[in-house]
Chain A
Amino acid sequence: MTVAASLAFEHISFAYDATHPVVHDICLSVQPGEIVVLVGPSGCGKSTLLRLTAGLLFPTAGRLLMDGADTSALPPDRRQVGWVPQSYALFDHLNVRDNIAFGLRMHRAPKQEIARRVRDMLELCRIAELAERRVSQLSGGQRQRVAIARALAVSPRVLLLDEPLAALDPQLRTAIRADLQALLRTSGVTTLFVTHDQAEAMAVADRVAVLRAGRVEQFDTPQTLWRSPANAFVAEFFGGATVLPAQRVSERCVRLAPGVDAHTTSAVASAMCSIAVRPGDLEIIVQDGLTESTGQFVVSASEFTGDGFKVTGELRGAGIVTLVHDQPVVLGQTYPVRVKTGRLLSIVGQDAHVLQSDTSNHTRGRRSS
């Protein structure tokens, strides 16, 4: 329906003043029709990247390519980019239909085409029954759809979504996220999607760029990010893991702590390495008491989650970890723990493919354009 474009950031930097770069040397390439999620903590520069793409900001260094053509200097009204800010910024003096028609009217499209296009957008976003409503009469989810319909109506080459789910009630978010993803897939538009929520990123993305302090820490598929995080930040922020140092035991096995050995997803390259430990990886051993061959886990906090308990404590000789247990535990008490049978743990920052994937994707993107 829309003419999806490829998008490439080439060494893009942006700073309001020379000493405090907001984003620095960003290299990303996005395939036509791909959904790329930019994820990172507040202030990491992800919204700035959207504004740079929309042309609301101009890079202080580097180039922005759309379909291979340099668009770094184009003003926003000539970029054909659909931008949906976090607030949705609907035109509240217009009804839903006129909001969606706005871009087409600005382009002086013929009346019949506007009517047809608006009808298509209302249908695509499943808001046909809201067409004559005022913006103030819409719910959060409906507003989001109107904002996306308005952006898609002008057939943008790239769609930019800034925290599109953040303004919604948490109870609705998961359902609307699934709807949104379906909508994006149907429309086929190249999408940059900003969020600070890693679960959202995993659910929606073809590929995820993890940002920290204005730099890309890793850019890859959610599965790769989960299995082979490039560094401790990616493992902790994206994977929700605790990163612990470990000793090599054999090619596919490491020791996290005395009595706690773990199998790894890939071959261990050096004598010492970092391992991402997630809440599901460790378990408290119920039957046996403490022995030489088990790890010692001292409970410091416990949260009831419904299914069980999320227990945080110190794994003796390693560090603070979190695990899931189905029984209540006693604070301050030491429990025997081990890595769950069959569980493979990720080695952090070792996989050569991970470190290079950013560059290889980049070249692939350029070739295709």
Chain B
Amino acid sequence: MTTLPDSAYGSQANVSARREQRRQAPNPIMAIGRGFTWFAVLLCLAPMPLLLVVATTANWPLGFWAGGFTLGWLREGWATVHPYALFSLRLALTVLAIDLAVGLPAAWLIARHAFPGRQALLALINVPLAVPGIAIALALILAYPLARASGLLLIAGQVVYTLPFLVATLAPALAQPALIEREAVARTLGASAMQRLLYITLPAIRSALLAALILVFTLSMGEFNVSFFLFTPLNKTLPIELYSAYITNRVEVAAAITLIFLAFVVPAAIAIERLGGSKIGQA
């Protein structure tokens, strides 16, 4: 671009002249729009620092840092939720493993083969996107009443809920004609099916795969609807415990627990955004 003549992009003088013009005559609609945007951002982000304040205030009902700054609530919160946080972590990893084992082959089938029933399979996988989590949970309870106590239904419910997102992220990556052609070349070069998967397919879809895995992890960690109907005292997830804390505890502890929860979920959400953001998880 540096080799282009000035006239193509406007000389430096032109650019600053245009800037000057803009400063003199601000577009009122743009100004209002910008105002609303900042207001919305503030509205969305304000609870975050507030949570931090509440969680570190000794006696919140009396105001900001009333009774002094304390880490006691955070300690108490962690003591309350850490078994559930660890359970949620284990559950998320289990769901991740099952999703991967089922979803990767399913995405591959959908992306690569025009078999009878392909559309039906795609629709079936996407059903949970449209069905409320409560309905999924109730359907599972009605169908498999005995499995609930073991905690298997909780796993099943979360798998059903998260699988569509994994498949919807992987299938387009696997369907790229350029990737299919590269695999074909690898095949003529003597690569076996496993070698093609390891050395061509997985490297090519690595960002989509990583994004899908983080997405499933975040969804599982934060899932409430399905889990609320399927949890048992021994199989209780972090969001469910968060809810109980709000109902039964002081507001400071609830805030502390929420901060702990965010510490699990926010880094994953940021990672998804960096890996391709809005493209991910769309059917």
Where the two chains meet, the residues of A that have a C-beta atom closer than 8 Å to any C-beta of B are 54-56, 75-85, 87, 89-91, 93, 102-103, 106-107, 150-151, 154
Contact = CB atoms under 8 A, between A and B. Distances in A.
Contacts of A106: 186, 189-192, 195, 199
B200 interface: yes
Given A77-B188, A77-B191, A93 B204 contact: yes
A274 B203 CA distance: 58
B120 interface: no
A83 B178 contact: no
A49 B56 CA distance: 73
Contact of B190 (A54, A84, A91, A107): A107
B181 interface: yes
A54 B190 CA distance: 11
A184 to B, nearest CB: 18
Contacts, number: 63
A20 B158 CA distance: 47
Given A91-B200, A93-B204, A81 B192 contact: no
Interface in B166-199: 178, 181-182, 184-192, 195, 199
Nearest to A51: B184
Interface of B: 178, 181-182, 184-192, 195, 199-200, 203-204
Select the residue from A76, A81, A90 with max chain B CB neighbours within 10 A.
A76
Contact of A77 (B192, B199, B203, B204): B192
Contact of B187 (A76, A91, A107): A76
B190 A56 contact: no
Contact of A83 (B184, B191, B200): B184
Contacts of A54: 184, 188
23 contacts: A54-B184, A55-B188, A76-B184, A76-B188, A77-B187, A77-B191, A79-B188, A82-B188, A83-B185, A84-B185, A87-B178, A90-B182, A91-B200, A102-B186, A103-B189, A103-B191, A106-B186, A106-B192, A106-B195, A106-B199, A107-B190, A150-B185, A154-B190
Secondary structure type dominating chain B contacts: helix
A79 B195 CA distance: 17
Contacts of B191: 77, 102-103, 106
Closest 9 CB pairs of A and B: A103-B189, A106-B191, A89-B181, A106-B190, A93-B203, A83-B188, A76-B187, A89-B185, A89-B182
Contacts of B181: 85, 87, 89
Select the residue from A75, A78, A83 with max chain B CB neighbours within 10 A.
A83
A315 to B, nearest CB: 47
B189 A150 contact: yes
A54 B199 CA distance: 20
B199 A89 contact: no
B102 to A, nearest CB: 26
Contacts of B189: 77, 82, 102-103, 106, 150-151, 154
A227 to B, nearest CB: 37
B188 A89 contact: no
Contacts of A90: 182
B188 A102 contact: no
Contacts of B184: 54, 56, 76, 83, 85, 89
Contacts of A78: 190
Contacts of B182: 89-91
Contacts of A150: 185, 189
Contacts of B192: 77, 106
A76 B195 CA distance: 14
